[in-house]
Amino acid sequence: MSDEDPYLWLEDVTGEEALDWVRARNAEALAELSTGERFAGIRDEVREVLDADDRIPYIRRRGEYLYNFWQDSANPRGLWRRTTLEQYRLDDPEWELLLDVDALAEADGENWVWQGAAVLRPGYHRALVELSRGGADATVVREYDLDERRFVDDGFFVPEAKTRIGWIDQDRVYVGTDFGPGTLTSSGYPRLAKEWRRGTPLEEATVVFEGKPDDVSVSAHHDPTEGWERDFVYRSVDFYRTERYVRTATGLDRIEVPEDAQTSSHREWLLIRLRSDWTVEGTTYPSGTLLASGFDAFMAGERSFTTLFTPDAHTSLEYWAWTHNHLLLSTLSDVRTELHVLTPSEGWTSRPLAGAPELGTAQITGTDPDVSDEYLLDSSGYTQPSTLSYGHVGGDVEILKRAPSFFDSEGMTVSQYFATSEDGTKIPYFVVRPSGAEGGPTLLTGYGGFEVSLTPGYSGIIGRGWLARGGTYVVANIRGGGEYGPDWHTSVTKAKRYKVYEDFSAVAADLVERGISEPSRLGIQGGSNGGLLMGVMLTRYPHLFGAIVSQVPLLDMKRYHKLLAGASWMAEYGDPDDPAEWDFIGKYSPYQNVHADRAYPPVLFVTSTRDDRVHPAHARKMVARMAEQGHDVRYHENIEGGHGAAADNEQLAFKWALMFEFLWEKLA
């Protein structure tokens, strides 16, 4: 025990004393929140949404097959399966089962949670399957034979770790993992990238690159595109800065782009998306710009670019995706999706791509760049269930699947407003209101970090648990996200972090000023970095809110960089060990700013024992301190679930029901 922090013992994740404390707090929360009819009703309704047989089975093409991972009440851990496009078009497709995770977990005596699979290109006959225990980020990697539908005897196998692995060819992979002492960074990710050949011990794999202990991570990747095969090595210096290299027979050649830029290659093209201004041969390209260059010409020293996208005050580039012959761009204009098709020829041509809804989001969920110009487009809005469409650039678009409506949206309105933050910046937010909900219970959410954008989309969970019961739902697009490009994020990192919290509080105040809600009926919810946001709202702006839910949060910003993956986020928040940086971090760190003599709204903290990204001690210690000080606080920690705090649909429905029950109890 420490005089400075009497709750350090709660950082012992699986220590018996700490787990006894967790069990006691869980029992208190469950006794308060989980015994009534409303909780049971919400839990069951959310579970119906999660397990619905008629929801869209989202797919990813790998060669001739479309792959899907499916969970429902009969298969809570899930089924990995595949079908053909012809079958997928049918109302009831025939699926070929590849792996039953529930059966595997039972046979192995493990609580396996699916974490994905890397399938070998071309050919698509082998896969590297990743499974985690209880939903943690750390995984076990096992090689799978897709033709014989079984794990490969004496195939590639990597024990549990935060592993980065990918195919080179059928007999070689690139791998970064825990090779023993000194092989992980201070963030807990691989410091070494190795080439590993089939039939040789993992420890004898050949070192390709070695990073430094304080890097975030190191990785390597092989691009098998026929005729354009390349190998890349990445050294992530911090969360936003990466050194990139092409691996050749003679060594590593640096790709001389700004470290904070994003890059991708496709066939003969190199794309560069800037996160800060870049001056090249007398021309300055602003942050947020997307540039194209011939890959080989760029590596040879040529610096001639085609500008594919330039941001403005209202519009930013969200993402891009290649088909075989075209580049698809998704942009946001005041957080509304617009889609474009760009085609390289003598020059680059651009035209719109249809499919983006008004006050909604259209997401390119899949392309087949090896052989075709097909694309899959998923579109939805707050009250508009998803539609999955299939098309070819320049051809017809076919609706493949429509999601069911999980709540009655008749009479609901979706509006966008702008609040004014303390420095005069206009902050957009969306309001979804049932008829007659003015002044009633309101749920406000936000994130505000890591250039993550919150765009409109359908949620049967929010619909059933909140909107259909008469609640108003609000999404704040505060700075720190990417809604207006990289500057919307970089302008509020480190010493300017306080502006994120001013933005969110400005939205809360604007809701009251417009008569949409009032403080006693305004609840807020956020997770991870959004959980930190909730902690700051609790300790700095408690008068604005009637109830707060903070999920898998960062809260102890004095020690966040010493806990699990925390060191990787110092580019976002700063270094608490630097007195100059702790000076601004310490002003908002929730754990250091909760006091016995202040009044706070009731708060619920939710986390997971198996979260190996954000340490559960953040929430544990905050709850212990607030309880000691006599505040209205409750806590629930799921033993499984990882950073999502739930390992299957049953746990996820339970978690949502706890949150909704708490908010309805405090706000209604």
- What lies within 8 Å, CB to CB, of 247 at 6+ separation is 208, 220, 231, 232, 233
Strand order in the sheet with 172-176: 164-169, 172-176, 192-197, 206-210
Catalytic residue among 236, 528, 550, 568: 528
Q: Which residues have CB under 8 Å from 631's CB, separation 6+?
A: 594, 600, 603
Note whether 564 and 617 are within 8 A (CB): no
Cβ burial 314-342 (10 Å sphere, 16+ → b, else e): ebbbbebbbbbebbbbbbbeebbbebbbb
The maximal CA–CA distance of the chain, rounded, in angstroms, is: 70
| Partner residues linked to 522 by β-bridges | 442
DSSP H or E stretch at residue 82: strand 79-83
Among residues 266, 615, 631, 643, the one annotated as catalytic is: 643
Q: Does the annotation mark 636 as catalytic?
A: no
Distance CA 142, CA 117 (A): 9
**In this structure, are residues 172 and 197 in contact, taking their beta carbons and an 8 Å threshold?**
yes
Between CA 184 and CA 211 the distance in angstroms is: 9
Count the helix, strand and coil residues of the chain and give each as a percent rounded to the nearest 5: 25, 35, 40
Q: CA 42, 46, 50: angle at the middle one, nearest 5?
A: 170
Q: Which residues pair with 93 in a beta bridge?
A: none
Cβ 657 vs Cβ 542: under 8 Å:
no
Look up residue 599 and give its two tokens.
Answer: 């009044």
Q: How far apart are CA 535 and CA 522, in angstroms?
A: 15
Distance CA 38, CA 46 (A): 12
528 as an active site residue: the answer is yes
Containing H/E element for 262?
A: strand 262-266
Nearest to 367 by CA among 57, 33, 62, 19: 62
CA-based angle 97:53:87, to the nearest 5? 50
Which amino acid, 191?
A: R
What is the spatial distance between Cα 556 and Cα 535, in angstroms, rounded to a whole number?
A: 10
- Using CA atoms, how far apart are residues 105 and 77, in angstroms rounded to an integer? 8
Question: Left (φ > 0), alpha (ψ -120 to 50) or beta: where does 448 sit?
Answer: left
User: How far apart are alpha carbons 232 and 220 in whole angstroms?
Assistant: 6
Transcribe 595-646 into DSSP letters: -TTS----EEEEEETT-SSS-THHHHHHHHHHHHTT--EEEEEESS-GGGT-
Partner residues linked to 81 by β-bridges: 68, 97
Active-site residue numbers? 528, 643
